[in-house]
A = this chain, B = another copy of it.
Amino acid sequence: MPDVIWSVLIDPHRRAMLDLLRERPRTVGELVDALRLSQPTTSKHLRVLRDGGFVQVARDAQRRVYTIDPAPLAELDAWLAPYRRLWNDRLDALGRHLDTTKEN
């Protein structure tokens, strides 16, 4: 699990960007408007997302259109996988308990 995945995701603005890009690709200007950040700050966050492999860029004249790339998030999902049984076990036990008590 590379540290860079976490260092990218720790920033709330970058997570907000991913939330927006999950819906559809957007230009830098759209993101600036949506996030109420300055344009340079937005561009810097996009740089971090790019370097981390979370987004890809396409040119459209002067505009740059950013698209989400889910690969690093899939890695995060894989990291989380072995923990998942910890709460699934609990829920299973709860479910069994409820099923059992319902029979009475």
Contacts and interface: CB of A to CB of B under 8 A. Distances in A.
Interface SS majority for chain A: helix
A82 B9 contact: no
Contact of A77 (B6, B15, B68, B80): B80
Interface residues of A, number: 24
B86 A68 contact: yes
Given A1-B15, A71-B87, A74-B87, A22 B80 contact: no
A9 B12 contact: no
Contacts of A76: 80
A100 interface: no
Interface in A80-94: 80, 82-84, 86-87, 90
